[in-house]
Structure 1
Amino acid sequence: MKITILVVIICLSLLSGCSSRHQQLAELGFERAYLDGYQDGCYSRSVAGTTHQEGFRRDPERSITVNKYRRGWQDGFEHCYADDRDNYL
């Protein structure tokens, strides 16, 4: 029971970190496709990468056809890893 509560708290804190960066990027004028990719990449690294309960969140069609989505996903994936790398060592 305590482990479940701890996992939920960690997931929520990781998601809040992604959403604050997402808001900062939006205020800087990044386009919707990049922001969507960034959010999906960050989620994939921080939540799906640590819980292994779900697969990575990625839109395969947009990854192929929309360069900004693909770049945003890669940036979000790498940036969220850099912020949380102690959990991966």
Structure 2
Amino acid sequence: MNARWAVLLWAVLLAGCQSTHEQLIAEGYPPAFADGFQDGCGSGRDAAGANGLYKKDVPRYLKDKVYAGGWDDGFRQCQGEVLSKDRPDAGSIYNDRERRWEQQKTQDAGRAYKPR
């Protein structure tokens, strides 16, 4: 019985070690997209930090739109993650804007339904 639990635990731990590339493939993304996402993500993280190093297969980027789309998505997403970690108030801009919009919407609805 303990051996079964050990095997199950080992399988769960291995599944948690799946790379982003492998995860994208498992979710049905084309390999070219996953390749581009992986390269772009690393580049986005580096661009947001001090390194500024990029990994991009330029000939492939120019010829393969799927790779290019993956690279662009990975770059933006991972750069944004790093930048938002550096700015703890990054979410408050959206929240303040959302709160003002909700308030305006409620006021407009109140005026619209006010009996005349």
Asked if Structure 1 and Structure 2 have the same fold, meaning a TM-score greater than 0.5 normalized by the shorter chain, the answer is yes
Instruction: Indicate the residue corresponding to 1:26 in structure 2.
Output: 25
Number of aligned residue pairs: 70
| Deviations 1:9-55 (CA, angstroms, capped at 9, x unpaired) | xxxxxxxxxx7433321111111111110000000011354242x63
**Partner Cα distance (2:86, 2:60) in 1:** 28
**Partner Cα distance (2:79, 2:53) in 1:** 16
**Partner Cα distance (1:78, 1:56) in 2:** 13
Task: State the structure with more CA Rg.
Answer: 2
**Partner Cα distance (1:58, 1:38) in 2:** 10
Q: Which residue of 43, 53, 60 maps to 1:62?
A: 60
Task: Please identify runs of 4+ aligned residues in structure 1 that moved more than 6 A.
Answer: none
Structure 2 gaps of 5+ residues are 1-17, 88-116
Give the % identical residues. 33
What is the Cα deviation at residue 86 of structure 1? Answer: 3.2
Structure with larger RCO (C-alpha < 8 A, sep 6+): 1
**Partner Cα distance (1:57, 1:33) in 2:** 15
